[in-house]
């Protein structure tokens, strides 16, 4: 993160010590989300971590007579999902002599003398900006995996979701299919009735979940009714949801009114989808074409140490000129159950 002063002029107002325009304002909203409805697993040292999954079914036999046969086929199956952890590194340095700090930050705000140990009042603002950039990068990587400029390989939740074979939901022939639709979400058209309207999409996801109940698998229907599911989308789709609902029903439904007020006070506050104890959660870096309904606890982040993601080491190098910073962490992402019995999905299939 070299500091480029090209095109700016010397500060003339000595009181503007730390008046930076902070570009990386979109911080990490993922940790509160996954702590609320997903699962955070700390203290994972190994490079590959498994999530255990228990499933099975129970059948009844005729109980009219005594029996010593304890092999009635009521078997339990233990399977697992693997999370691969990746080590992440970010680091850079800056030199108070070589990058124009005395020129652009002005001498009265720099420490006296030429033997700098830091940037005095400027250093905290610079470190805060680095942390904001790191938080934003984490949020993008959690959802969408490594991006341009990254040299690590991290599979985000969307990478894993689109690589899974979920099958297409059909109420008559494939109720355990996970893909409910793939068209681009909108506000529902002029009358709000288009299938691509976000409120209509959410209704389709709920209906698909209601069809999904099996003796030997996950009862997504019962979990939704019990308040053990969530819907997640990005801010634009959340606004489309509001517009779509307003076009169809106005603002009279009591479940949506507190949510609309909440939108004005807390852009990331969850509100229940009308008719159910089903929170609609906003995530900035989930793709625009994607809306997910899932069981609670499905999305997982495994860390070596959670605190590593908010830790930045800053020190004066042995050359006594360069201030260096380094950030390290180790983490991996996964889904406990990536199938249509545990989630319903609107978005691209690959």
Q: Which of 37-41, 55-59, 129-133 has the lowest mean pLDDT?
A: 55-59
Q: Where are the alpha helices (DSSP H) in the chain?
A: 30-37, 101-104, 121-144, 157-163, 198-211, 220-225, 235-249, 256-265
Q: What percent of the chain clears pLDDT 70, i.e. is strictly above it?
A: 69
Average pLDDT over residues 88-99: 75
Q: Are 183 and 293 in a shared domain?
A: yes
Q: How sure is the predictor about 157, in pLDDT bands with cuts at 50, 70 and 90?
A: very high
Q: Are 190 and 261 in a shared domain?
A: yes
Q: What pLDDT, in 10s, does the model give residues 224-261?
A: 999 999 999 999 999 999 889 889 887 754 454 444 54
For 305, the 3-state DSSP assignment is coil
Return the pLDDT at 253.
47
Return the pLDDT at 53.
61
Q: Are 224 and 260 in a shared domain?
A: yes
- What's the token pair of residue 305? 């140490």
Query: What secondary structure, in 3-state letters, does the chain show?
Result: CCCCCCCCCCCCCCCCCCCCCCCCCCCCCHHHHHHHHCEEECCCCCCEEEEEEEEECCCCCCCCCCCCCCCCCCCEEEEEEEEECEEEEEEEEEECCCCCHHHHCCHHHCCCCCCCCCCCHHHHHHHHHHHHHHHHHHHHHHHHCCCCCCCCCCCCHHHHHHHCCCCECECCCECCCCEEECCCCECCCCCCCCCCEHHHHHHHHHHHHHHCCCCCCCCHHHHHHCCCEEEEECHHHHHHHHHHHHHHHCCCCCCHHHHHHHHHHCCCCCEECCCCCCEEEECCCCCCCCEEEEECCCEEEEECCHHHHHCCEEEECCCCCEEEEEEEEEEEEEECCCCCCCEEEECCCC
Q: Are 189 and 125 in a shared domain?
A: no
Q: What pLDDT, in 10s, does the model give residues 168-191?
A: 999 999 988 999 999 999 999 999
Return the pLDDT at 15.
42
CA angle in degrees (0–180, nearest 5) for 96-101-102: 100
In a domain, 229, yes or no: yes
Q: Are 105 and 229 in a shared domain?
A: no
Q: Are 136 and 220 in a shared domain?
A: no
Would you tell me how many other CB atoms lie within 10 Å of the CB of residue 175?
19
In a domain, 250, yes or no: yes
Closest to 284 in 3D by CA, of 171, 144, 100, 84:
144
**Residue 154 neighbours by CB under 8 Å, 6+ apart:** 86, 88, 141, 145, 146, 331, 332, 333
Mean pLDDT of the chain: 78
Q: Are 163 and 285 in a shared domain?
A: yes
Q: Are 268 and 181 in a shared domain?
A: yes
Q: Are 111 and 184 in a shared domain?
A: no
In a domain, 21, yes or no: no
In a domain, 313, yes or no: yes
Domain that holds residue 269: 159-300+335-346
């Amino acid at each position: 993160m070299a500091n480029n002063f090209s095109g700016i002029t010397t500060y003339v107002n000595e009181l503007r010590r730390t008046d930076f325009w902070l570009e990386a304002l979109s911080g990490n909203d993922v940790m509160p989300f996954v702590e609320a409805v997903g699962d955070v697993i700390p203290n994972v040292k190994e490079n590959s971590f498994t999530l255990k999954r228990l499933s099975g079914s129970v059948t009844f036999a005729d109980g009219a007579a005594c029996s010593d046969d304890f092999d009635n086929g009521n078997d339990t199956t233990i399977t697992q999902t693997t999370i691969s952890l990746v080590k992440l590194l970010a680091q850079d340095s800056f030199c108070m002599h070589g990058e124009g700090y005395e020129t652009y930050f002005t001498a009265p705000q720099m420490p006296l003398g030429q033997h700098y140990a830091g940037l005095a009042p400027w250093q905290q603002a610079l470190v805060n900006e680095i942390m904001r950039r790191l938080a934003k990068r984490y949020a993008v990587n959690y959802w969408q995996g490594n991006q341009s400029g990254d040299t690590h390989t991290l599979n985000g939740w969307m990478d894993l979701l689109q690589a899974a074979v979920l099958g297409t939901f059909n109420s008559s022939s494939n109720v355990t299919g996970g893909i409910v639709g793939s068209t681009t979400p909108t506000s529902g058209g002029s009358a709000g009735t288009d299938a691509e309207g976000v409120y209509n999409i959410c209704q389709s996801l709920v209906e698909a979940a209601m069809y999904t109940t099996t003796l030997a698998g996950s009862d997504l229907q019962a979990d939704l009714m019990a308040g053990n599911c969530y819907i997640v989308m990005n801010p634009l789709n959340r606004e489309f949801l509001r517009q779509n609902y307003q076009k169809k029903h106005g603002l009279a439904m009591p479940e949506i009114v507190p949510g609309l007020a909440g939108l004005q006070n807390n852009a990331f506050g969850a509100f229940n989808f009308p008719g159910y104890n089903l929170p609609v959660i906003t995530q900035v870096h989930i793709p625009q074409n994607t809306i997910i309904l899932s069981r609670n606890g499905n999305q997982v982040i495994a860390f070596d140490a959670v605190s590593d993601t908010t830790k930045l080491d800053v020190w004066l190098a042995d050359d006594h000129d360069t201030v260096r910073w380094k950030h390290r962490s180790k983490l991996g992402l996964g889904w406990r159950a990536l199938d249509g019995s545990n989630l319903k999905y609107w978005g691209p299939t690959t």
